[in-house]
Amino acid sequence: MLDYDLVVVGGGIVGYFTSIYYAQRYPNAKIVIVERGLFSSGASTKNAGFSCIGSLSELQDDLTHMSSEALIDLVLKRYQGLKELQKVLGTTNIDYQEVGGYELTFELPDKDKITYFNDLLEKALQSRPFEASNHKIKEFGFSKQIKGLIKNNLEGTVNTGKLMVSLQNKATSLGVQSLTLANVLSVEEENNFVKVVIGQDNPEYVLKAQQVALCTNAFSKQFCPVIDLNPGRGLVMVSKPIPNASIKGSFHYHNGYNYFRFINGRLLLGGGRYLDKEGEATTEFGINETLKTQLLHDANQLIVPHHTIELDYTWSGIMAFGSQKIPLIHQVSDRVVAGVRLGGMGVAIGCIVARDIVHKMP
């Protein structure tokens, strides 16, 4: 129970997909996933269930930091990742719904920008994803402060819990083992294997691995201090039931920093990190009251202006960002590969990162 062909550190979307792809490539391999929490400790079990490839304002901002070719490649990878997600796990099993992603704007949408990004992405996506949907503002019941809606027809939602259960079931069916509440203290190279040390207090356990995949995203600096990686905490809140709340779609505003959707008559609302980027650059879970107050204000003033929102649940998840939006596949050594920096798009691009991790392994 201590010797493995592959030890995957991190039991989130990337970790499970890495184990699945490796098991498919090497059917006789002995594989274990090691997760420090009872469930995934990052954002994989704590996200809002959005399947996104990028809103118009996000892509516009991205073009100030990368070439148009790099942006096209990144968006295509996100789109391919969503298709792969459905192919591997099944659309029904994860409750995948391509209901569209809507960006709320506080001024009328720029039709020239919509045309520009449709032209830019059409060849890669075989689609013109963006369209103005201002006529739905009244239908959705949003405040008159919202002047425009820009729909991305290729976006939608998933059920996060069902997604993770489906990943676990798929991995188990391929013979992958998993250890939870198993905190990895260190990953150490030896002459002909890698030593993975696990322990909460005492005793410590040592796994021997031929290959190690580090799939711990924002928590990865413990193992790779030099990588370009910064944590970003995300706040998510869920309201008590709201009468007649049945809007379909995923919604974004403030350049994608804020997001919401309606689930079973409740409003799920999250984001606000732009209000305190420094304070939210942490791997500590917790609720930032400044963000919570502003998001609750938005809910009552912009999203459901004729109903007073009362919260039922709040939680936080930890994402990872860097100087580039492109995920980082880092070859730590011949036996150790890290796949990190998903930029808050783990649902869409997690399986693509996992595939690249396995391709890096001999």
DSSP 111-158: HHHHHHHHHHHHHHHTS--EEE-TTHHHHHT--TT--EEEEETT-EE-
Instruction: Find the CATH number of the domain harbouring 31.
Output: 3.50.50.60
Identify whether 191 is part of a domain: yes
Residues 141 and 246 in one domain: yes
Question: Does 85 fall in a domain?
Answer: no
Q: CB of 329 within 8 A of CB of 338?
A: yes
Return the amino acid letter for 172.
Answer: T
Residues 307 and 264 in one domain: yes
3-state secondary structure of 94: coil
CATH number of 241's domain: 3.30.9.10
* Same domain, yes or no: 241 and 275: yes
Q: Is residue 82 part of a domain?
A: no
One digit per residue, the tens of pLDDT, for the chain of length 362 reads: 999 999 999 999 999 999 999 999 999 999 999 999 999 988 999 999 999 999 999 999 999 999 999 999 999 999 999 999 999 999 999 999 999 999 999 999 999 999 999 999 999 999 999 999 999 999 999 999 999 999 999 999 999 999 999 999 999 999 999 999 999 999 999 999 999 999 866 678 999 999 999 999 999 999 999 899 999 999 999 999 998 888 999 999 999 999 999 999 999 999 999 999 999 999 999 999 999 999 999 999 999 998 889 999 999 999 999 988 899 999 999 999 999 999 999 999 999 999 999 999 98
Count of domains in the chain? 2
Statement to judge: residues 222 and 335 lie in one domain: yes
Q: Give CA angle at 179 (178, 181), nearest 5°.
A: 145
Gyration radius from the chain CA atoms? 21
Structure tokens at 102: 């809507």
Same-domain check for residues 140 and 257: yes
**Torsion angle in degrees (nearest 10) through CA of 153, 347, 75, 276:** 100
Domain that holds residue 309: 97-157+229-321
- Whether residues 263 and 201 share a domain: the answer is no
